[in-house]
Amino acid sequence: MNEYQSLWNDTIDKLNEMMDETNFQDTFGDVKHVSKEENGIIYVITPSPFIKNKINSIYSKTISDILSNLTTRKLKFKFVCEDELNARAVKQQPAFPIINKHNLNENYNFESFVVGESNRMSYLTATKVAENPGTTFNPLYIFGGVGLGKTHLMQAIGNYIADGDVNNKILYVQANEYLEDYGRAIRDNNMKAFEEKYENLDVLLVDDIQMLEKGKSSQQEFFKLFNNMTDRQKQIVITSDTPPAKLNGIMDRLTSRFQMGLIVDIKQPDYNQRVQILKRKLLETSQVQVSDDVINYIAENFVNNVRELEGALTRVLWQAEILNTTPNIQIAKDTLEILINAQIKDDNSNYENALSVIADFYSISVADLLGKSRNNKYVLPRHIAMFLLKTHYKLTYSKIGAIFNGRDHTTVMNGCQKIESELESDKELKMAVDSILKKI
């Protein structure tokens, strides 16, 4: 038995210990064989696209954790259906050898990226960079919250460039992987592998640059790499959870370099976009018909993060499958209730932070924000606070009333409605609320 097969067997054994037997059999019962290993990727054969998607969306984190406990080598399992492997084999027999080996996820492309208000600017910029790498905006710096599509968009740039010219040397790397690579090279006093990986790149995609904060000497090294790329007019794309000026623990000469090109951000998708994302995801992964009320319900309740949005859909599909029926609104409510409650609980514990952010924003005290004074200085911030506790933290009107020193339910409701309707026309108010939301 080859070593990759036995790695998979060991992984399966661990999963078996962790999962309940029926669930284990349903999911992994027919996922037995490793097809091949290539560039650190171990291809495991799944009996159907459904099982493949289920493993990818529910178990991939667990599986990669198990694998990293089994081996120190940089390996990854990839789940494929047999016909995919065959199609791939046919596709990969061009007249000339493919030199273009990259580590991008092919599913992260521009076609599968749903564009809306929250990400249009980033999307358009990314396509522009992909068409003229190295010369339009260098570096391109994309920032935004967790699970909003930064990695997807960054890799879409890479995939687009890769499709255009097989000779491009494209590298996607997470900043902490860069740290590890450099640390290892120094520790082993051997720069060879490190240099080979990072030299002569045509495109460098560095994900989650904020992770670089931990390594001072790595930052020096990265500074050299950065200059080497820009001097040769080679494209760099960087993602982060904050704008460059707010990066902590990263040397100024780097953060100022990050501002040389163009900085764009991705915000939370609005309702319509969330619906589109769910529909797209359905098209890609399932043949099941899902009615609009189910889609709408999910889109209404998972607002912060596309990853969680997609996870919610997967959960509903799976539950319906277990019950041997098509997804309906009752199934959606039943299966998602626990996740939605968890979100509310999470947020509940944080609303106090939101109150201080709002008070700070308007330079008033939290006591005044919650207090009874009708001074104009306090009324608007107070309404905004009520509105955000309702929409963002999902608190009930009466709970909010209690927080605001025993105001009654209708007072709170009026405050919330006022903000809601003014947001539609008042640009300044919208900017204020957006900026508060970003801070919380």
The one among 46, 53, 125, 151 contacting Mg ion by CB under 5 A: 151
Contact partner, 119, from Mg ion, ligand ADP, none, Cβ < 5-8 Å per class: ligand ADP
* Least distance CB 143 / ligand ADP (angstroms): 9
Indicate the residue among 7 and 156 with the shorter CB distance to ligand ADP: 156
Indicate the residue among 119 and 125 with the shorter CB distance to ligand ADP: 119
Using a 10 angstrom Cβ sphere, with 0-12 exposed, 13-18 middle and 19 or more buried, the burial of residue 21 is exposed
3-state secondary structure of 204: strand
Token pair for residue 412?
């709170």
Contact partner, 113, from Mg ion, ligand ADP, none, Cβ < 5-8 Å per class: ligand ADP
Indicate the residue among 144 and 415 with the shorter CB distance to ligand ADP: 144
Residues that bind ligand ADP (CB under 6 A): 112-114, 119, 144, 146-152, 277, 306-307, 310
Contact partner, 274, from ligand ADP, Mg ion, none, Cβ < 5-8 Å per class: none
Indicate the residue among 205 and 229 with the shorter CB distance to ligand ADP: 205
* Least distance CB 154 / ligand ADP (angstroms): 8
Indicate the residue among 5 and 105 with the shorter CB distance to Mg ion: 105
* Least distance CB 160 / ligand ADP (angstroms): 15
Indicate the residue among 171 and 423 with the shorter CB distance to Mg ion: 171
Beginning with the edge strand found earlier in the chain, give each strand of the sheet holding 76-81 in spatial order.
34-38, 41-46, 76-81
Per CB under 5 A, 218 contacts Mg ion? no
Per CB under 5 A, 240 contacts Mg ion? no
* Least distance CB 122 / ligand ADP (angstroms): 9
Residues between 110 and 149 that touch Mg ion (CB under 5 A): none
Indicate the residue among 241 and 321 with the shorter CB distance to ligand ADP: 241
Q: Which residue's beta carbon is nearest to the bound ligand ADP?
A: 149
CB distance 315 to 336 below 8 Å: yes
Contact partner, 306, from Mg ion, ligand ADP, none, Cβ < 5-8 Å per class: ligand ADP
Contact partner, 138, from Mg ion, ligand ADP, none, Cβ < 5-8 Å per class: none
Query: Looking at 150-158, 266-274, 320-328, 414-422, which segment touches Mg ion (CB under 5 A)?
Result: 150-158
Indicate the residue among 185 and 236 with the shorter CB distance to ligand ADP: 236
* Least distance CB 150 / Mg ion (angstroms): 5
Report the candidate in 264, 141, 138, 112 with the shortest Cα–Cα distance to residue 202: 138
Token pair for residue 143?
């920032």
* Least distance CB 363 / ligand ADP (angstroms): 32
Token pair for residue 293?
């009320």
Which long-range CB contacts under 8 A does 129-132 form with residues at least 24 apart? Answer: 129/157, 129/235, 129/237, 130/156, 130/157, 130/160, 130/161, 131/160
Report the candidate in 367, 368, 366, 385 with the shortest Cα–Cα distance to residue 377: 368
* Least distance CB 424 / ligand ADP (angstroms): 24
As separate numbers, helices (DSSP H) first and strands (DSSP E) second, the chain gives 21, 8
* Least distance CB 239 / Mg ion (angstroms): 6
Could you tell me how many residues of this chain bind Mg ion (CB under 5 A)? Answer: 1
Per CB under 5 A, 285 contacts Mg ion? no
Q: Where are the alpha helices (DSSP H) in 19-98?
A: 21-28, 49-54, 60-70, 82-91
Q: At residue 141, what are phi and psi to the nearest 5 degrees?
A: -115, 115
Token pair for residue 12?
């399966």
Indicate the residue among 82 and 163 with the shorter CB distance to ligand ADP: 163
CA–CA gap between residue 73 and residue 58 (Å, rounded): 24
Contact partner, 277, from ligand ADP, Mg ion, none, Cβ < 5-8 Å per class: ligand ADP
CA–CA gap between residue 170 and residue 177 (Å, rounded): 16
Burial string for 113-150 (b: 16+ CB within 10 Å, else e) reads bbbbebbeebbebbbebbeebbeebbbbbbbbbebbbb
Indicate the residue among 214 and 307 with the shorter CB distance to ligand ADP: 307
* Least distance CB 40 / ligand ADP (angstroms): 20
Report the candidate in 163, 178, 36 with the shortest Cα–Cα distance to residue 98: 163
Give the residue carrying structure tokens 């105001």. Answer: 407
* Least distance CB 172 / ligand ADP (angstroms): 12
CB distance 33 to 5 below 8 Å: yes
Contact partner, 122, from Mg ion, ligand ADP, none, Cβ < 5-8 Å per class: none
* Least distance CB 60 / Mg ion (angstroms): 14
CA–CA gap between residue 308 and residue 274 (Å, rounded): 11
Footprint of Mg ion (CB under 5 A):
151
